[in-house]
Structure 1
């Protein structure tokens, strides 16, 4: 059996000019990065503003497990499937972070015969967007410390600096540090720390901004510290936002690549869904909607995190209204939610599968709460038995009234996703029982928003917030931030805040550890449980297996 990278290399990609032409993008509006990658110019994008939008399809999933789900693979496969049945389709994905690529998760370009290419470039540096975001973020950190050093005319309280530095790598040793050691010439020592770049508010701003002017305005609104009088200090106060925008100017142009079958794919931006809002850039999604009849996008991790944030943050802020959703599930992952250990997943176990089905059922119910019709895509693995696959189909039909389709795009490309594509078209072009709506209104009090997400989506019994957290919410409301949506940062592995609790728990508590204001992005990050905004590497990281072979080709990248 060929590996993902071997399959990717077996296909000769089309020149990127041909891919652009499929969407009506002329050569002069492409800024090529080699022969198979290009950025789409801001001028061309601005000229498309009056065109009608195509259909927007969200691909989401059950809670992830070590058994794998294949959400990106299904997103790519569905895009190819739509092209196969004659639709003008495009895909909109996030860029992979180097952190998980060299850590435990691996790359994020799909798999098997449903990949975006060139996968090595996409997974490693790509067009340098993440480096630009890292540089812009750390420029602001440097300017903040520099302002304090040269007299501190804004009266910033060094004890209340909220702007941590970032890097695009998992490094637990940098979570909490002391900076500015070494004497008077190095500044004033203080506690500091690093987050991973994909958790940066600059990344969130980058992915939610509509154009360069909006990008600069959002950057200026980011709150980075407090004064000794507890007033807010912003990037605009530090006069940092114009130079940050300069660093981000080229990166802000969406990246155009292709699938193995030549379907156009926009890969742009990459906030994590367990610690950020988990969606590709609004800029890329809106561009794709103007150029294609169908746009397939994904939101990170399970629907409890990625889809909820896609609906309540991205769609709310960008004025998007998704036409359908695909919820990805696998026999293997559902058996894990039913209590089967990873080493036993190869054995047929209908009882465990039915027990684990509760996780899928909850996600289907949750997506329906937003008024978005959904179909279940069962991503088939070679170890799945016919009885197991049929059980999921039957349970979806009998218990949920939902259609479930077995998909084989990993092994067969668009041929294996054609049925799913036809089902999506039927839903997207058919009548809707209700229209799309966010889970909660903007005017709802902040803590009530968190409680709504916890009880409606996670089925929690309570939200645990001590007096400091409650005061923080009240202070934010008094400061004019009460209308912001909530971005919950918690484990992706469970509906609860405990990654070990699988299936579909109810009545659990969601403990709030911290609340961070992302005024530029336009949401509040509510950190729950033990989730970290700077991940660590596993005991045996993927980095130990990635190397250059004797022929100069990259090995071990997946």
Structure 2
């Protein structure tokens, strides 16, 4: 069986100008990054803002397992399939982070015959967006420390600087550091730390901004810390939002690439869904909506994380809500949620599927609360048996959700036609009536309790002493009217990654809140989730290499 990279390298790419022409873009609408990649020019984005929007399809998944679900693969295959049945489609995906690429999770360019290309570039440095975000984030850190060193006119308390540095790698050694050591010339010593780039507020801002002016306005609202008398200090106080925006001006433009079958794909922005809001950029999604009849986008990890944040945080910033939601499930993952270890997934086990189906059923029930129609994509693996497939279809029938067998990894768009037809029929027959889960006017505590009860299936939220103090302080500052971005393990509905399936009667503990005022939401850190991951014992990097002529090896 060929690897993803072997399939990608054997594929024939079209010049990106030809891909652009299929959705009405000319060479003047592009900034070329070689022959097969481009960014949309601002003039092209602005010229289409008044055009009619197409249909929006959100792809999400059950709670992820080591067995794999293939959400990005299904997203890409569904768009290819829509084009095959005569529905012009455009993809809106996130960019991969080098952290999981070099670590354990892998890339985010799809797999098999459903990939976006050139996959090596997309999974590595691409067009430099991640580096620009890293540079802007760390430029702000340097400007903060320089301000303190040069006299500290703003009276910033070095003990209460909340802004962290970032790097786009998994590096646990940088979670907590001391900066400014070495005497007066080197600056003022203080505690600091690193997050992974995709957790940076600047990543979230880039993904939610609608223009350069909006980008600068959001950057100006970033909270960097507090004064000695505990008053908040913002980027606007340093007056550096213009300089940060300058570093991001090209990164703010969506990237245009293609699938193996030539479907246009806007790959832009990359926040994780377990520690950030998990959606690609508003600018890319809005552009896709005006360039195709159907836009297929995804939200990270399971529906309790990425989809909830798409619907409660991103959708209010879009011109329209999704017309349908696709939930990706696999028989292998359902077995794992039913208690089967990875080593036992190759054997038929209908009882485990019945038990694990509770996870899928809860995700479907949750998404229906937004009053958007749901379709299940049963993503195929070669070990699946006919009895297992039939059982999943029967169980879906019992909860009145349409399910379509999907085999896009092996067959590309042809393996997704049943799903494409089901989604189009659902959109045509069942109009969405989007309702948000909570109102901004609710307190942060109420929002947290609503998400835990309505989405996770828990019974209560417990706040640490620090979190309780923050709730009071944030309400005093007027920050409690912002949406809530829950940072939680992706593996369970609860904050305990070992509780698979659909656990209930549990309490979620919020240990700390992090205000992301420029992005426009508050992050709640739960359980042991961290904003700087570590590498596994055997990182994926150990299998990677490059040939003498520059061809990547071992990249999935």
**TM-score category of the 2 structures, normalised to the smaller one:** over 0.9
* Cα distance in structure 1, aligned partners of 2:274 and 2:430: 33
* Cα distance in structure 1, aligned partners of 2:242 and 2:120: 33
TM-superposed deviation, 1:198: 0.1
RMSD after superposition? 0.9
| Equivalent position of 1:469 in the other structure | 467
* Cα distance in structure 2, aligned partners of 1:42 and 1:18: 20
Question: Which ranges in structure 2 are unaligned for 5 or more consecutive residues?
Answer: none
- Name whichever of 314-323 and 252-261 sits farther off: 314-323
| Equivalent position of 1:352 in the other structure | 352
| Equivalent position of 1:533 in the other structure | 531
* Cα distance in structure 2, aligned partners of 1:550 and 1:500: 44
- Name whichever of 164-173 and 310-319 sits farther off: 310-319
Q: How does 1:83-232 map to 2 (within 5 A)?
A: 83-232=83-232
* Cα distance in structure 2, aligned partners of 1:73 and 1:177: 38
* Cα distance in structure 2, aligned partners of 1:422 and 1:294: 13
| Equivalent position of 2:429 in the other structure | 430
The reply to whether residue 339 of structure 1 matches residue 362 of structure 2 is no
| Equivalent position of 1:413 in the other structure | 412
2:381 is paired with a residue whose SS is coil
* Cα distance in structure 2, aligned partners of 1:281 and 1:473: 29
* Cα distance in structure 1, aligned partners of 2:5 and 2:320: 34
Contact 2:464–2:509 (CA under 8 A) maintained in structure 1: no
Q: How does 1:244-255 map to 2 (within 5 A)?
A: 244-255=244-255
The reply to whether residue 493 of structure 1 matches residue 491 of structure 2 is yes
Q: How does 1:353-392 map to 2 (within 5 A)?
A: 353-392=353-392
| Equivalent position of 2:551 in the other structure | 553
TM-superposed deviation, 1:11: 1.2
TM-superposed deviation, 1:471: 2.6
1:457 is paired with a residue whose SS is helix
TM-superposed deviation, 1:550: 5.1
1:51 is paired with a residue whose SS is coil
Cα offsets for 1:70-99 (capped at 9, x unmatched): 000000000001000001100000000000
Contact 1:208–1:318 (CA under 8 A) maintained in structure 2: no
2:238 is paired with a residue whose SS is coil
Cα offsets for 1:129-182 (capped at 9, x unmatched): 000000000000000000000000000011100001000000000001111111
* Cα distance in structure 2, aligned partners of 1:412 and 1:295: 21
TM-superposed deviation, 1:47: 1.0
Contact 1:172–1:536 (CA under 8 A) maintained in structure 2: yes
The reply to whether residue 442 of structure 1 matches residue 440 of structure 2 is yes
Contact 2:68–2:333 (CA under 8 A) maintained in structure 1: yes
TM-superposed deviation, 1:474: 2.2
TM-superposed deviation, 1:41: 0.4
* Cα distance in structure 2, aligned partners of 1:79 and 1:31: 24
TM-superposed deviation, 1:319: 4.1
- Name whichever of 545-554 and 195-204 sits farther off: 545-554
* Cα distance in structure 1, aligned partners of 2:320 and 2:158: 40
Contact 1:59–1:326 (CA under 8 A) maintained in structure 2: yes
Question: Which ranges in structure 1 are unaligned for 5 or more consecutive residues?
Answer: none
TM-superposed deviation, 1:320: 2.9
TM-superposed deviation, 1:2: 1.0
TM-superposed deviation, 1:470: 2.1
* Cα distance in structure 2, aligned partners of 1:213 and 1:553: 40
* Cα distance in structure 1, aligned partners of 2:90 and 2:411: 19
TM-superposed deviation, 1:331: 0.4
1:152 is paired with a residue whose SS is coil
* Cα distance in structure 1, aligned partners of 2:547 and 2:104: 21
- TM-score normalized by structure 2? 0.99
